[in-house]
Structure 1
Amino acid sequence: MAEIKSALEIAMEKAEKIGKASTEEMSRLEAMDRGRRLAARFLKEKELNLEEEIKKVPPQEIHVLLEGLEEVFLRNIFLPRDQDSLTHTISRALEGLRLIKGPQASRILQEIERLLLGYLQMKSDLYQRFRQQFQSNMAGLEQAIAQQYGLSGPIDPEALPQFQEEWQKVEADLKERFQQQLNQLKAALLTL
């Protein structure tokens, strides 16, 4: 079974190929990796006090550790599939960014929250409208199927492959529009 390598191990291998990494480069890579691991722990463990953990880091490593934290938190802010992913992983990543970025990031983080909630709401509304429209266009199809197969009663449009294909196209367009806005907000966070 192949081993999964951490970013630090991969970077170390690259450094060996290029030449020996300086001790400064090595400590930078280690601090970055420590930040990434701390962010992963913060996302999983509700009781972890991130501020206390950061205080334990030597002052010369804080900046690089914060870069590692920020990288993981930003990667865990994505367009949610459903309300659960928004309330668990994404909310925790936003909370982590709020802690490491401070009050100057609160406006952007609030915009991200509004964008993600708006995305879920628009996706739900769009799905309902799409389903109703598809169902109203199916009236003739229901009659043809009933005559051909001797079935009666309404057909669930979601069970039809054509419905799924068309919905995926509509959903992809919606995702693209919201993803562009989310990427802009994430880029704005990086400048702080």
Structure 2
Amino acid sequence: MAEIRSTMDMVMERAARMGGDAGSDLEAEEKIKAGMRAGAGYLRSEVADLAKFVSSQAESDRSSLVKGITQALLRNIALPRESDQQSVAETAMNGLVQVGQGSGELLAVFGDMKKVLDQYLQHRQQLRQQLEDGFAQQMGQMQDNVAKQTGMNMKLDPSQHPKFQEEWHRLQAELNDHYGKALDQYKQMVEQLLSR
């Protein structure tokens, strides 16, 4: 009977420890969510200075808050489809610089990250233009054939051709894969620098 009791005591002790760990895990999770809300607020211009926000919190909560802010802001650094979408990524980078308190290493990573985003946009535009030029020649021949057959001049848009769309999606997938991997590596570096 004593053996059973000691086993039961061990189970109860373990359950109590797990309950205590679960409480602190829940608390840390809540602080991460609060950090994510602050990061989102920064992007909406509701929180002006993330460094002040973090420093105004309890010392024990800061690492969880920084983790949440970092997660929220890194999610908003993505490969842009248009040049105007890049401003969201730049705002997110500025917020992360605030959290990192202007760290030189962080600034260097963001400089490289900005180059990747710029190169992506430029490369994307070049590929699209080359593809359109290639299809324009084919479409010109098709327009001539249609004009001869029907006697009507029609303007055909190369980007509307199904083969164009198929090829553009393939090229875009390759481009997104290549630049996405580079961007993900820089995001991991930022997470490592801010988790110190």
Determine the structure 2 residue equivalent to 1:13: none
Secondary structure at the counterpart of residue 138 of structure 1: helix
User: In structure 2, how many angstroms separate the alpha carbons of the residues matched to 1:120 and 1:135?
Assistant: 22
Deviations 1:64-114 (A, max 9, x none): 110111111111111001111101x21111111111223321111100001
Aligned residue pairs, count: 174
Deviations 1:97-140 (A, max 9, x none): 11122332111110000100111111111111111111113332
Unpaired runs of 5+ residues, structure 1, are 1-17
Percent of paired sites with the same residue: 26
Letter in 1 for 2:95: G
1:161 aligns with 2:162: yes
Determine the structure 2 residue equivalent to 1:5: none
User: In structure 1, how many angstroms separate the alpha carbons of the residues matched to 2:94 and 2:43?
Assistant: 9
Secondary structure at the counterpart of residue 48 of structure 2: coil
Tell me the CA shift for residue 149 of structure 1: 4.0
Larger Rg: 2
1:107 aligns with 2:103: no
Letter in 2 for 1:71: Q
TM-score normalised to the size of structure 1? Answer: 0.82
User: In structure 1, how many angstroms separate the alpha carbons of the residues matched to 2:68 and 2:59?
Assistant: 15
Unpaired runs of 5+ residues, structure 2, are 1-17
RMSD: 2.0
Identify which range, 18-27 or 117-126, moves more after superposition: 18-27
Letter in 2 for 1:123: R
Q: Matches of residues 62-141 of structure 1 in structure 2 within 5 Å?
A: 62-87=62-87, 89-101=88-100, 102-141=103-142
User: In structure 2, how many angstroms separate the alpha carbons of the residues matched to 1:104 and 1:131?
Assistant: 41
Determine the structure 2 residue equivalent to 1:188: 189
Tell me the CA shift for residue 160 of structure 1: 2.3
Determine the structure 1 residue equivalent to 2:30: 30
User: In structure 2, how many angstroms separate the alpha carbons of the residues matched to 1:80 and 1:156?
Assistant: 25
Letter in 1 for 2:64: V
Tell me the CA shift for residue 168 of structure 1: 1.4
